[in-house]
Every structure is written in C-alpha cells, then in structure tokens.
Structure 1
Amino acid sequence: MQSCSRKKDTFVSRNFHALGTRYNILYNGELALERGKLAINDEFTENFWELLPIERMNISEDVFLPGETRNADFERAEEKAIKAIQKHGMNINGKEKNYQIDEAYLLLGKSRYYDQRFVPALAAFNNILNKYPTSDKINQVKIWREKSNIRLDNNRVAVKKLKRLLEEEQGVIEGQDLADASAALAQAYMNIKAKDSALTQLAIAAEHTKVKREKARYHFIRGQLFNEFGLRDSANVEFDVVIDMHRQIPRGFYINAHLEKSKNFDTTEGDLLAFEEYLAELEENRENRPFLDKIYYRIAEYHRQQLSDSLAEAYYNKSLRKTTSDKYLRALNYETLGNMYFDRNIYKTAGAYYDSTMTAMQPNTKSFRVIKKKRENLEDVIYYEGIARANDSILHIVSLSKEEQLTIYAAYVEELKAKAIEEEELREKEEQKRKNAMASSPTNPRIASTNVTKGKGGALPDAGFNQNSRGGSFYFYNPSTVAYGKNEFVNLWGDRKLQDNWRLSNDRAGIKTTSPDVVAESKEEDTRFNPDVYLASLPTEQTEIDSIAKERNFAYYQLGIIYKEKFKELELSKIRFESLLKNNPEERLVLPSKYNLYKIYLEFGLNRKAEAMKVDIVSNYPNSRYAEILLNPQSELAKDESSPEFIYTKLYEQFTNQDYIAVITESEKQIKRLEGNDIVPKFEILKASARGRLYGLEAYKEGVNYIALTYPNTEEGKKAQDILDRALPDLEKKDFISDDKAKNFNVVYQFSKNSDEDIDEFVKILDEEVAKIEYFDLSTSKDVYDENTIFVVVHGLKSIQGAEGFGVFLESGEKDKRGRPVKPRITKEYFAISSPNYAIIQRHKNLNAYLKLQ
C-alpha cells in the first residue's frame, strides 16, 4: 500500500484514490442524496392557488443545533463526501491530484443545500471555485452557488453572477446546465419582483430541460405570470403545453392547467354550451376523481358568475363533501357559501359558515382576522335583524282590522293542524313498521312454531331456537320467545301490578288515565290551535305599540350603520335608512340617517338624491355638525368642540383629574343627546367608572351590568360582561388583610370639602417635608374618597410602624441649632394603612369599618 500513498504523485496512486472515491464512497453518498431528494419531493405539496416556486422544496423555520440534521440521508451523503475528502484527498505541493475531490465537494455542498444549511453549502461551493477552477463541473458549481445565494436572499448578487455566467459561457453551457441556470435566474428575478424578466428565463429553462416534470412546472409558472399581467391568450398557450403533456407529468399539473385555462374563458362572448360540456367532461373523467374538490369548486364559480345560485350552492357543497387536505379550498367554499347566505339575509346560516371557514384557516393570519371580525360583526346583524323582523311583524298585524287579524291567525292555525296531523301520521307509520318488523322476526313464536323439522325424535325446534338441557320445545324453554311474549303483554296491557283482578285494575304504568288534571292539560295543549289566543297576545296599549316601533326604528338605524361601516354593503344600508325615515322615527335618528343616506347616494352616483338630501340637512338643521361638514368639508371636525370625540376626550381628562361629579353629570347629558351614536357606550363606561370611584363598588357594578345588558353587541358591552365575569368576584372581597402580609404602607390625612382648610397649601408643605427624607422613595397624592371627603396620602413606606412613626416625626417638627424644638409645620391628624387595605376602603367606601379595627 506504500505505492498508493496520498503523498506520492504517481499514476497508480492517483488512479487508486480516484477510483476508490468514485465507485465506493461517492457512489453511496449520491445514492443517499437521491433518497433524500425523493423524501423532500414527497413532503412537498404544490399550492396551485399561488405562484409556484421554481424548486420543489419546503423551507423550514425550525432551528437545529450543531450536529442535528433534518434528514438522515443528507447527513449520510455529507459524511460520505467528507470521508472522500479526508481519506482520498491528494493535496501535494498545494495542488489536488485526485480529480474526484471536486465531485466530493459538490456532493458536500448539495447535501448541505438540501438540508437547508445554506451558509455551509455556500462555503463548499466556494471551496471548489477557489481550489479547482479547471474542474469540468465548474459551471454546475457556479449555478449551485447562486442557488444558495438566492436562498440566503442575496438575489441581486445571484442575478449579476448568473447573467455573467450565461454571457461568458454562451455556447458552452447547454442542456440541463443551461436549464438549471436559467431557472435559478428566473427565481431570482421573481424574488426581486422583476417578473417580466423571469418569463424569458423560464422559456429558456423549459426548452432545454430534459425532465418532463420540470418542463411542465416552468410552462405552468409562465401561464401564471401571463395571467398576472392580464395576457390571457398567452397564458392559455402555456397551459395548453402542460395539458398536451398529459400522462407524462403529475396529474396535478394536468388538472390545474385545465382549471386555470377555464378561468380565462370569456363568458360574455364564448360558447357557453361548449364550455359547460368541457367542465362536465372534467367532472366525469374517472382519472380526475382525486381532484373533484377543485373541479366542483370551479363549476360552482362558473354557475355563480351566471347567477345560478342554486346550482352554485350545490357544487360548493359537493366540493366540501369530497375528502380533501386542501384547507385553503375548504375555507374558500365555506366563506363563499357564507357570503351567499349573507347576501340573502340569512344571517345565522352565514355565521355558521364563517365559523367553519375559520376552522379551515391558520389562526393569527390577516385573512383569519378579517373573517373573525366579520363573524363578530355578524352577531350585531343577527341581533338587530331579529328585532326588526319580529317588531315589523307585530306592527303589521296590529295595524290590521280584527277581521283581518282573525283571518291570518285562522290560516296559521290550519297550517299548524295540518302539520300536526302529518307528524302524527308519520309517527303511526313508523310505529306500524316497527310492529311489522317484530311480527316478521324469527323470534315470533307464531312463526317460529311452524319452523320445525322432522328428525328421529319427531318434531324438533328449528335451529333458530335455543333449547335447554331437556331438549324440549316448550314455550318457556326458549328465552327469545319469552322476551317477545313479555313485550307483547306490556304493549297490550301495560305494566300491570301482580295482584288479584289485574284485568279490571286501572293501575297500568305507562298508560295515561283520564283524570281531570290530564283532561285540563290536554285542553291547555290545544290552545295553540285557537286563533283567539294569538289575538289576545297582541299589544293593545298605544304606549306599548310605540315602544315596539321605537325599538324597531333603532334596530333599523343600527343595521344601516353596520352595513355601511362594517360590511360596506351600501345597498342594504340604503334600504334600512330609507325604511327608517318612512317609519316616523324619533328626532335623534333622523339627522344621522339623512347624512348617511347622502353619503351612500354619492357612492352610487345618485347625484340628484344626494343634492336633495344635502339641501334638506342644511335647511332644516343649519346649526348641526352635519350641516357644517356639508358646507365646509375641509374643516377638522374631530377638533370641533361640539364633536362627540372632542367632548369625550375632555371628559376623560376630567376623569383623570378626579372631577367625578362633573364627569357623571356631563356624561348623562351627552348620553341623552347622542343616543343612537356609536360613541354612547364609551360615555356609559366613563360614567360607570366615575360613579365607582365616587360611590364605591356597588355603584360601579350597577353601571357595568347596565352596559352589558343594554349594549351586548358592542365592544364596550362585551368588555363590561368580561368585567362582571372575571374582575368583580375578586374586587368584591371586603376583608382587610393583616399588616404583616403587606409590603407598602401609606400615611393618610383626611379633609372635608366643606371645611375652611387649604388643601393645596397643605399638599405644598407636605411635599417640602417629604423631599427632606432621603432614605425613602416617598411620593404624595390627593385622592377623592367620596362627595365630601378628600385624602392627602404619603406613599412609599415599608412597614406599618414606619408609617405611624413617619406621622409622629412630621408632628414633632425639627430642632434648632441649640437643640430646642421648632414649631412643627404639620400637626393634622392622620392614620396609617397598608396599600392593599387602602385600595379596599377606596373600593368599598368602608373607612369607618377600618378605623374601628385600629
């Protein structure tokens, strides 16, 4: 073996190590690499809903520690490449004599690339370029290096170097190498959004590749790009190339090429009959069964374009019934069906479809959040549409004469009777079927008794009977016939007690007796077939009818706002606002409804109606904010002192300044003035918070409960309900905690608002005294306790003894240079309290209870 040393540059050594590298180590490494590539190919799922990538490869976000690998085959390939370099490398005098080592480095780079370790892969490819510039694989190495750069988002570097390679090696680089280089360059162009340049490179790649799967992919991507550019004819040419390859390529490309081509069909000028036959042929082809979900979806989309909603809905549901792993398609089907039901005002069904849509989507994505928001908004629509429909129905019936009302309810009662009879007949038929099935079963003794066979012992039961050890055919020896007999007895006589004269007794379990109570109950049940009962339930008092009309009008207003602002359904919004104005609504709803109609008319281009509405608003409401907006559209009304937003902002500032009485008074005023406006719940929350700070937790709880009940479908209403469910149970605890469990303590000085004491002056002096204390991080605050009491508080003390001692220290005052006491500046009474207990007395207004414990 000395003659085959890696240190000797002889013919035998060179060829020994080269052959050993090629046919032993690299051969096994390349086999492992191919197995790994097949695994990557199997894991990858084509997403034909988006622009396909040039290379089939899922990029994982997982981070692996050193020594870990995603795929054992790539790890083995890398090990083989490293072994070939270490065991057979012949670096003599700075020059590699084994002509297979560049192949080993290429295998090393590829295995790292497919294992998604692109930086080490780049290092391997650069090593070849630096050490083996004359390698016959040099062009492949340059291509793989730029593919690694593309994966590292160095797209512009890759474009520059691949263009230079194709220009310098024009006529030299050809075949599959030319296809790979062009495909890589196309991917780089697509990454930097130069998709028109990518088209040219994809054409070159498709022309020179020897792999049918790649050729189909390149043509399909070209078709997708042409569609993005709006060049439908050019796109169809590319899809036709894919279709013509048929069984030479994966079926997914063939079917999706058909579907993409069908999307480009012009339904206004094309032959609709021929196109429908084309879609039907795709549907009926047995080879297309794995793709029926997509085919059904495409057919549904076509019928929806043709306004055949019933056919479209049928095909959307057929698509859903097909088992599919395509969650995006399922989400599309559910969402489209939800939109169809929404457009038909069937909101509950639409909401159910939106719920299903979200189950098929990735959470925390933009599309998921859009559907979730739409579903939440739909709750408001369902709520208000239910009110509007019910109240409209009641008001319509009330407006009719007694004779007309009686006619309507008589017809309704007849429908109920017919339905009840139909249900009873159906129940009897089912019962009869059950009895017939029992009578014809082998366990019926009357039938079974005839199923006997003659044997040596005479008449014996059929094999269907279970015989006891005696071998007889007596009735009670057969458990099946006994069970049947018991069942028949119960059906005929009921569950009788074991007693004398059982036939004459009425004590039968399961059988209803005709007691007076039962008769009365039967009569009561029949009230649903009595029209007079429905007539009696109608409201008769005018105040009650007015209340129903008022509730209906408010629901119409809310629906108009929701459709306009949240769903952009301007037609539905227009209908609701126009219906509202015809129903003589309260004055507070008239002006905002007219303004919203004005905006909708402008959107629809109904300029005459818009102008008429503008004149109406400006003439009849000249001092309103809406008139100001119409007359001066450029004004910044958000800063206008009359705007609800400005008023709310100012009130909130007053709240932070603890001016709670003013906040409560002004909030009540604005709630009445702005009733029907979306900002009203915000004023309610502010008012409830101010009442809680001033009057305690019970007042806050009352306000929050009112908001949760009155505005259940608003953000504030939901927040209020959450407070009731989660926060209030903890806040309601009134028990004071012991001082040894607290970490922070306060010194509190109590003032009455009606006293002559200057609170601000006291706070000024206190701040000066506190500033002299350097060994504690102290602060002061002025807190409202109730309508008549204000606390001045020193915060930051660390023990109850320290808090009490601090108060004594302030009372004792300072000493002069001779040690004589100086008149103290603060002599007011105080009490010490821990921070948790201070929060409790502020929350429950139970200061007296705390002081009694001291």
Structure 2
Amino acid sequence: MNNYAKLSIKTILLGLSLVFLYACSTQKDNAANRSLQNLSARYNYIYNSNVLLGTYQEELAQTYKDNYDDFLSVYIAPEPIDYLSGASSATGDTKALDEIIKKAQTIISEKGLSNYIDEAYMLLGKANFYKGNFFIAKEYFDYTAKTYKKDKNTHLAALNWKARSLMQLHSNIQARETLDTVLLDLDSVKHNKAEPLATLAQMSINQHDYKKAITYLSQAIKESGQMQSRTRWPYILAQLYEHDKQYELSLRNYTKVENSNSPFEMYFNAKLSKIRINDILNDQTADRKMALLKLLKDDKNLDYTDQIYYEVAEDYLGDKNYNKAAEYYKLSAQKSIRNNYQKGLAYLKLADLNFKNLGNYVNAKLYYDSALSVLPKNYPNYESILKKGQNLEYLTERYQLISEQDTLQALARMPQEAREKKLNEMFEAKKETANAVAQTDNMGSFQPGLPTRQQSGGTFYFNNANTISKGFSDFRRRWGNRILEDNWRQSVKSSQQVTQQNQLAAIGNNTAPTDSTQKTQAQDKTARIKEYTALLPLTPEQLRKSDQQIIDAYFEIAGFYQQVIEDQAEAIKVYEQLLARYPQNNHRDAIYYSLYLAYANTDKAKSENYRNKVLSEFPNSVYAKTILDPNFSAKQNALDAEVNKSYNLVFASYEQKDFPKVITGVDETSQHFPGNSLQSQYDYLKSIAIGRTQNVDSLLNAFNGIIAKYPNDLLITPLVKDHIAYINAHLAAFKARKIALIDFDPTEPRFIAQQETVVAPQQAVNEPAKNNPVTPPAEKPAVAPPVVQPKSADLPPVKAEPENKPAVTPPVVDNLFSKAESKIYYYVIDVADMTVSVSSSRFGVGQFNRANYVGDGLKHQLLELEEDQLIYVGNFESLEDVQDYAKGITPLLPRIMKVPTSTYKGFYISKENFDKIKNRDTLNRYLEFFKNNY
C-alpha cells in the first residue's frame, strides 16, 4: 500500500512538472509565462545591463577630458562614429556596451511577454549612443517614443535621448523640434525630469541662449539626486552665471563645487574661478596675481601650472602690460605637458598679442602655426586662424630671405681667414648629451599601467593594468598630482627633504660620441661649409643680385603691410627703411607713391613731399598719371582692353598670311594708341610680317629697331636677340633668299625655315637664352644659412617653444587627385571663357618659350572643355622644372594673355591629374587641390 501511494505521488509530480515545462517552453500568453519572463528579464537582463551601463558611465566620467576654458558639456558623449573608416571615438570598456546590446536583443527576441521590452529598446539606444553610433541610437529612441506613447516616463525618456542623439549628429533643427515636445510633456510626469531639463539646458547653451540655460539647469539640479547635480551641473551653472555677470550667484555655485567631492581638476578650476570672480568684485588685480601664484607652491597643483600662468597672463593683458602678458603666456605654453588644448590657447593668445598689440607679424605667424598644431579641428574659428597663418607666411618668408642675404653679405665682406673661422663656428656640430635619471622606489612620478614590479601573466591583483589605471585615476581625482615619495601628503617640505630630492634628481650619466660619429660629423660639416660658401656674393654681379633680392623682399613686405594687413605705420617704417638702405633702388616710383598714400591721413606735409617726388622724378610713370587724374586707372583698363582687341585683329591677319594688312594694322594702332603696353609685341608682329614679304636686311633693320627701342623688355627683346643670332649664324643662306622668312606654321609661328638642317644650339633645361634679361628663379640653397646678428627689423621669427616645431598644416586631400611623383608635368593656363580667341595668347606663350627655353622641346597645346580653354605647356620632367617655369612666366602673363585678366589663371599639374580633368567641376576641384597642396 505504501509503495502504491509513493508511486501515485511521483506520478502526480511528474505530470505537474511536464505541464510546467510545457508552459515555459512556449510563448503562450498566460499568467505563468508572463510572470516567469518578467522575473527573468528583470533580474537576469535589465538589472545586469543597468549595472554594466552605470559602471561604463562612471568610468567614462573619470576618463573624459573636459575643456574648462569653455562651458562644460551638460552630459558626456563621444564623437560620432566615422562611417568611412568604421572608427569609433568611444572610450572605456566597449565590450560592456556589446554585452548590453546582446542582453537587450535577448529580451526582445525571447521575452516578448515581459513588461521590459521598452527598457530593452532604451538600452539598445543608450549602448549605441555611447558607442558613438548616434544614427542607430536615434532610430531606437524614435521607435520607442512612438510605440510607448501611453507610458509617459518611457515616452519622455526616449524623446530626451533622441534629442541628444540628434544634437550629436548636428541635426539641430530636428533636435529643437524634439525638445519642443519634451518641454510640453514635462508636466505629464512627476519624476525623472532632471535629464530632459539638462538636455534643454545643453541646447540653450548651443544656441547661446544662456538665460534659458540657467533656468533649465537650475530646475534640473533641484530634480536630480545624482552625483552630477552636486558637482558637474553646479559648475556649469557657475560658468553661466559668470558669463551673465551675476557674479555673486556664480561665486556661490563655484563654492558649492569646491566643497563637494568633485574631481580634483574640477575642484582646482572652481578655485581658480573663485579667485577671478573675487578679483572682479573687489577690483584688485594685484591681489589676484598673488593669489594665483600662491597656488604654484602646492604640489597638488603641479599638473595645472599652465592654467595658473595663463590666468596671470590674462590679468596682465587686461592691464595692457603686453610684455608681461607675453612672458606668462609663454610660461603657460611651456608648462602645458598633458593639456594640449591649454597649450593651444596659450599659443593663440601669443599669436594675437604679437599680431594686434606688439606688431610682430613674423612671431605671430609662428605662434598661429603652433596653435594650429595642437588645437582640435573643431575649435571655433579654426579656419580663420589657418587663414591668418597662411597670410603671415608671406611676411615670414621674406624676412627670412633678408636675414639670409644679410648674413651671406656679411660673410662675403670678411677677410678669407676670418670668414673660414666664422664658417667653422657656424657649422660646428652641437654636442648632445643624454641624461638618464635614476629610478628608485621612493622617487619619480607614478605612471598608470607602469607599476614598479609588474609580472606578466600572473593572477596577482596589481598585475592587472586596467585595475592599476583605474586606481591611478581615482587617486588623482581625489588628491591631484602627487610625487611617489615619502610623506607624499606634505604640501610644504623641509629644506632637508628638498635637498635630498635634488641630489637624487641630479644622478645621471653623459654619453660621448663615438669616433665614427665624429668622423661623419666632420665630413658633413665640410660638405655644408662648401655648399654654403658657394652661396656667398663674392663678385660685384653676385652682390648686385643679392641686394636686389633684399630690395624686392622689403618692397613686398611693405606692400603686404599696407594693402593686406592695412597697417600703414608698419608699411611706412619698412618703405623708409628700404629707402635708407638702398636710396637708388628700382622701386622708387612705387615707394614714393605708396608713402604719399600712407601719410595722407597722418602727416599732410610728408604726404605732399612724396607726391612732389613722384611728379618731379617720375613724371611719365603710371603713379604720376594717377595722382594727376584719379580716374587714370579705370581709363587705362579700358585702354588696355581696346589695345588687346586691336592686337587680336592684327594677329588674325597674321594667321591668314595677310602680311601687308599686319603692317598696316600695326602702324594704325601705333597712331591711335602711342606707347601702349603691347607696343613691343605689335612691333614684333610687324617685323615678322616684314620678314615674310621682304629680304633679310629689312628684317634685321626691324629687329634691331626693337632692341634699340625696348632694351629692357623681358618678353620680346630676348626673343629678337636669339633671332638675330640665328640669322647671323646662317647669314649666307638668308642672303640667298628674296624673302627672308619662307615658312609659316599657324599653330606655332617660327622665323626660321623648317627645312633648315642646322638648328640653334641647345641649352640646358631652365637655362635662359644668352643675353636674356629674364632672371630665372634662384634655386633654394642646400643649406639653410644661419643668421649672424641681423638688425631688429630683420630678425627671423623666434620659435614659439623649442619642443614644438611650427605647425605644418596638413594638405587638403581630394581622392580624385594625387601628389604622387610623376615623370611628366604641364604648366596650364585656364581661360574660363569659350567666347574669346586664345590664338594670340598661345602665340605669346610660344614667344616666351622660344626666348627662354631654346632647344628644350617645349610645346604649347590647347584642350577645349565645355566651358574652359586650357593652354598647356610641356613636357616637364620634374615638379621642380615646372615650378621654375611657372615662376618665370607668371609675372609676364598680363602681357602674354590677350584676354581679360579675370578670365584666366595659371597652375601646374602632373599628367596623371591632368588626364582626370574632364569638365568645369573637375577643373575647379583640382584648382582647390592645387591651392591647398602646392
């Protein structure tokens, strides 16, 4: 009987178990399933996910680098994910975020009967938000908000996070629309208002509506019981009050932060801000400087020395003590070891100080470069800073050229023995020493992840690098920077302790260069001295060229001050310095006219003096004509347009081989427009027409007339001289002809017969023709010349900091084009007008080529696009060759091109890039690429 009873009980239990298992194994919507899924979803997934998310948020808050020079962000978020590279800016343990996503997806797919589906979608959105995947996060939050409208708390939270995601995506219009709904729904809930209010405050800050931001953030603080309501948000509120000049309220909130358990950096900045505000309230800048400098005595503030010096500099700047301000800004930049943003701000202040107050544009350029090298690309006005730096580079290059040439001339004037001694000193190899500071367990700064005794592969607690890093962060958060040493809590140490530390720090060893190193240095020194000696202007002609480089540099600097920076005082200073050094320079007419304008509003007597100099010494110059007739420039432009039009008509006759009409046309133009800017080119056409219709004597008379009439012409005279030299070399052949010039090629006119077997002697690439006044661009010296005590006005820019080279702005990359080295380059002139004829302009290009690149085989061809005509010259075998060509032809383009100046521009390009230009769009893309990369 007992056995039967036992069997019955077992059967009943087995049946109940089978029923229970059946119920659990299906998605039947019954009380048992709902209860079990709620239990499982809540404790196995939601709770654990929230723990993981809370831990991640806490770690993110500890590692996030705030910029205390701007309003702190109300909430912390990474930068958007880069979808092209797949790179995410999320920090910390992102595996935790992946685990949260996995758990949330499990709830949605397997716990469909539970009450936690909405929380699962919120977790999916938050995890993607913190991974920087804001677009996907926004979609999850949007779905949750639409699906759970009846659940007011979930609906409001989803809209709040959707707005944050949109703000991170910079979709500000959509974010504002979403927040308008949030604002309307706030009264529908009793709790959980703090986060939406904080988001509203952040949007108000973004929109620069700081009064609204104060209102929303104050409400958020009252609604929140979180740690941030006692630290981060009061700090931001203090910043807002300070900006709104409500200093008492600002001081109260900074004090609240200072007295809270805030991170040390926030505590320090709150203390710094309190000093600043007390200074404003009490109007005692001297006391503030003393209070700031007192902070330097506390070891806890070691990492914030840069900020202290920066604040002191700001005080001196406010007092208009610019030299002291510069001194402390430099100290700030020098001490900014870990905070690149602070270093960048110091450099930027130094740049602005030199630019606006000290008038040292060379130093300003270097400081702008240094600022750009450390400031983030999203820094406000980054592009404006970049543009300033690029403009000031123009000045820097020319001041450096002056210093280099002054140095070269000073060395050239020395006796041979003294010069050799000086060169040896200049190129003496610097002795470098390497100091190894002794590391002890009781000395040195503790570094995270680098414990004193670390054993790889062990399970010991302190072998875990992540644990050590977290501990280090926690320590610094509480105590600030402290040296790992005995009595580390002491802020003020005894003299004995300091002496012991100094002795330990002095321990090190010096390394001497090896024999092979010394030998290499000696060889290098000899080679550099030899190269540098070759640059010395030892002959009168070399000295003349050196002087001309200095003259041109001064003239261009002064013009830049006057026209670009609009600093008339500095322009006057440089112009007069140039006149003092070189009273008979070749720019006197332009300099006198520029000084006449510069003094016009400050010194009428000096202005009148320079006006009279222009009129008396250069009566026929364009400057004298402009003084006498203010409308002369406009009239001249109209005249030039007529002269160009007439030239094109004469050239059309030339192309049609109507040479008598060419001669007649030139004579008529000379009568109507005597002394016009193209007269030498007109006379050249006439000479060629004479050669096509008359004998060689007539041609030579015409050519010689051009040389006599235009001895200094840089375009036509060199070409004519080469023609005469060729004719004289083959005079018998030319004398035997009735007509001097018997061939004609309309694409590239020549003055010699194509059937002649003897060709002109070839010249090296880029070598100018004999007797050619066109001076090719000087090659860059192989060795950068050191400067020997230049004058104050010629000083080269001083580097902002020894450890920071001037910023090299990275070139803009267009994936269509490449800077890769090529075997073929072209120089291109883009004429952005299909309605004008470019035949005469091509002829002018040919004139330049034959005058300066005889025998190099350069050809100029035409490529027509839908909206542009491209005259391209090639082939050049290297980038340096085409750059030299560009430097030679660019100053002559206004005379070469017979089209309006506004319609053409010149540039150079590799064959591979040239082949990619198909239309106006690709051409403009290359022009932008060219501007940013060459």
Aligned counterpart, 2:126: 110
Equivalent-residue separation in structure 1 for 2:254 and 2:391 (angstroms) = 41
Aligned counterpart, 1:840: none
Matched, 1:296 2:314: no
Task: Give the C-alpha shift of residue 63 in structure 1.
Answer: 2.1
Matched, 1:242 2:260: no
- Unpaired stretches in structure 1, ≥5 consecutive residues: 91-97, 398-408, 421-538, 675-679, 714-725, 732-762, 764-781, 797-834, 838-842, 844-854
- TM value normalised by structure 1: 0.53
Aligned 8 A contact 1:334 1:356 in 2: yes
Aligned counterpart, 1:160: 177
Q: Which aligned pairs between 1:315-334 and structure 2 lie closer than 5 A? A: 315-322=328-335, 324-334=337-347
Select which of 27, 33, 36 maps to 1:13: 33
Equivalent-residue separation in structure 1 for 2:50 and 2:226 (angstroms) = 19
Relative to 1, partners in 2 of residues 1:288 and 1:165: Cα closer, same or farther, differing over 3 Å?
Answer: same
Q: Which aligned pairs between 1:43-442 and structure 2 lie closer than 5 A? A: 43-63=63-83, 71-90=94-113, 98-135=114-151, 136-170=153-187, 172-173=188-189, 177-191=192-206, 197-213=212-228, 216-221=231-236, 231=244, 233-234=245-246, 237-238=249-250, 240-246=252-258, 247-257=260-270, 259=272, 270-306=283-319, 311-312=324-325, 314-322=327-335, 324-334=337-347, 359-360=373-374, 366=383, 367-368=385-386, 370-371=388-389, 374-375=392-393, 377-385=395-403
Output one character per residue of 1:121-167: Cα deviation in whole Å (capped at 9) or x when no partner.
33433443444333353322232233333334443343334334433
Task: Give the C-alpha shift of residue 174 in structure 1.
Answer: 5.0
Equivalent-residue separation in structure 1 for 2:272 and 2:707 (angstroms) = 61
Task: Give the C-alpha shift of residue 701 in structure 1.
Answer: 1.5
Aligned 8 A contact 2:710 2:717 in 1: yes
Aligned counterpart, 1:702: 767
The aligned amino acid for 2:189 is I
Relative to 1, partners in 2 of residues 1:39 and 1:630: Cα closer, same or farther, differing over 3 Å?
Answer: farther
The aligned amino acid for 2:141 is F
Output one character per residue of 1:83-141: Cα deviation in whole Å (capped at 9) or x when no partner.
12222222xxxxxxx32332222222222222233343334334434443333533222
Aligned 8 A contact 1:220 1:239 in 2: no
Equivalent-residue separation in structure 2 for 1:9 and 1:84 (angstroms) = 16
Counting matched residue pairs gives: 576
SS across alignment from 1:204: helix
Aligned counterpart, 2:588: 590
Task: Give the C-alpha shift of residue 75 in structure 1.
Answer: 1.5
Aligned 8 A contact 1:216 1:242 in 2: no
Aligned 8 A contact 2:313 2:328 in 1: yes
Equivalent-residue separation in structure 1 for 2:360 and 2:636 (angstroms) = 41
Aligned 8 A contact 1:294 1:319 in 2: yes
The aligned amino acid for 1:81 is A
Task: Give the C-alpha shift of residue 280 in structure 1.
Answer: 1.8
Relative to 1, partners in 2 of residues 1:145 and 1:729: Cα closer, same or farther, differing over 3 Å?
Answer: closer
Aligned 8 A contact 1:29 1:80 in 2: yes
> Identity over the aligned pairs, expressed in percent?
20
Greater helix share, 1 or 2? 1
Equivalent-residue separation in structure 2 for 1:544 and 1:139 (angstroms) = 80
The aligned amino acid for 1:29 is S
Aligned counterpart, 2:637: 640
Equivalent-residue separation in structure 1 for 2:138 and 2:100 (angstroms) = 16
Equivalent-residue separation in structure 2 for 1:334 and 1:14 (angstroms) = 64
Relative to 1, partners in 2 of residues 1:249 and 1:570: Cα closer, same or farther, differing over 3 Å?
Answer: farther
SS across alignment from 2:768: helix
Output one character per residue of 1:502-558: Cα deviation in whole Å (capped at 9) or x when no partner.
xxxxxxxxxxxxxxxxxxxxxxxxxxxxxxxxxxxxx999x9999998887656434
SS across alignment from 1:707: coil
Equivalent-residue separation in structure 1 for 2:268 and 2:393 (angstroms) = 34
Equivalent-residue separation in structure 1 for 2:338 and 2:273 (angstroms) = 20
Relative to 1, partners in 2 of residues 1:234 and 1:607: Cα closer, same or farther, differing over 3 Å?
Answer: farther
Task: Give the C-alpha shift of residue 81 in structure 1.
Answer: 1.1
Task: Give the C-alpha shift of residue 76 in structure 1.
Answer: 0.9
Equivalent-residue separation in structure 2 for 1:269 and 1:697 (angstroms) = 82
Relative to 1, partners in 2 of residues 1:576 and 1:549: Cα closer, same or farther, differing over 3 Å?
Answer: same
C-alpha RMSD of matched pairs (Å): 6.2
Aligned 8 A contact 1:293 1:322 in 2: yes
Aligned 8 A contact 1:6 1:89 in 2: no
Equivalent-residue separation in structure 2 for 1:329 and 1:265 (angstroms) = 23
Q: Pick which of 614-623 and 17-26 moved more.
A: 614-623
Aligned 8 A contact 1:347 1:382 in 2: no
Equivalent-residue separation in structure 2 for 1:215 and 1:639 (angstroms) = 73
Select which of 577, 597, 608 maps to 2:604: 608
Task: Give the C-alpha shift of residue 7 in structure 1.
Answer: 4.4
- TM value normalised by structure 2: 0.49
Select which of 32, 37, 42 maps to 2:52: 32
The aligned amino acid for 2:144 is I
Task: Give the C-alpha shift of residue 662 in structure 1.
Answer: 4.1
The aligned amino acid for 1:377 is L
- Unpaired stretches in structure 2, ≥5 consecutive residues: 1-19, 426-537, 656-677, 686-705, 727-747, 751-759, 783-819, 826-838, 840-844, 863-873, 877-881, 883-934
Aligned counterpart, 2:448: none
SS across alignment from 1:156: helix
Task: Give the C-alpha shift of residue 62 in structure 1.
Answer: 2.0
Q: Which aligned pairs between 1:666-815 and structure 2 lie closer than 5 A? A: 698=763, 701-703=766-768, 706-709=775-778
Aligned 8 A contact 2:134 2:168 in 1: yes
Task: Give the C-alpha shift of residue 77 in structure 1.
Answer: 0.6
The aligned amino acid for 2:558 is G
Output one character per residue of 1:482-518: Cα deviation in whole Å (capped at 9) or x when no partner.
xxxxxxxxxxxxxxxxxxxxxxxxxxxxxxxxxxxxx
Aligned 8 A contact 1:18 1:99 in 2: yes
Q: Pick which of 117-126 and 543-552 moved more.
A: 543-552
The aligned amino acid for 1:244 is K
Equivalent-residue separation in structure 2 for 1:287 and 1:120 (angstroms) = 43
Equivalent-residue separation in structure 2 for 1:102 and 1:35 (angstroms) = 21
Equivalent-residue separation in structure 2 for 1:86 and 1:226 (angstroms) = 49
Relative to 1, partners in 2 of residues 1:580 and 1:329: Cα closer, same or farther, differing over 3 Å?
Answer: same
Relative to 1, partners in 2 of residues 1:552 and 1:128: Cα closer, same or farther, differing over 3 Å?
Answer: closer
Relative to 1, partners in 2 of residues 1:392 and 1:168: Cα closer, same or farther, differing over 3 Å?
Answer: same
SS across alignment from 1:703: coil
Aligned 8 A contact 2:124 2:140 in 1: yes
Output one character per residue of 1:632-657: Cα deviation in whole Å (capped at 9) or x when no partner.
7677649726889x99x999x99xx9
Relative to 1, partners in 2 of residues 1:684 and 1:79: Cα closer, same or farther, differing over 3 Å?
Answer: farther
Equivalent-residue separation in structure 1 for 2:200 and 2:722 (angstroms) = 63
Output one character per residue of 1:381-429: Cα deviation in whole Å (capped at 9) or x when no partner.
122256579989999x9xxxxxxxxxxx9xxx9xx9xxx9xxxxxxxxx
Task: Give the C-alpha shift of residue 72 in structure 1.
Answer: 1.9
Task: Give the C-alpha shift of residue 380 in structure 1.
Answer: 0.9
Equivalent-residue separation in structure 2 for 1:672 and 1:341 (angstroms) = 46
Aligned counterpart, 1:577: 575
Relative to 1, partners in 2 of residues 1:687 and 1:238: Cα closer, same or farther, differing over 3 Å?
Answer: farther
Task: Give the C-alpha shift of residue 235 in structure 1.
Answer: 6.1
Aligned 8 A contact 1:239 1:258 in 2: no
Aligned 8 A contact 1:5 1:13 in 2: no
Equivalent-residue separation in structure 2 for 1:665 and 1:236 (angstroms) = 83
Equivalent-residue separation in structure 2 for 1:69 and 1:276 (angstroms) = 39
SS across alignment from 1:709: coil
Aligned 8 A contact 1:21 1:100 in 2: yes
Aligned 8 A contact 2:368 2:388 in 1: no
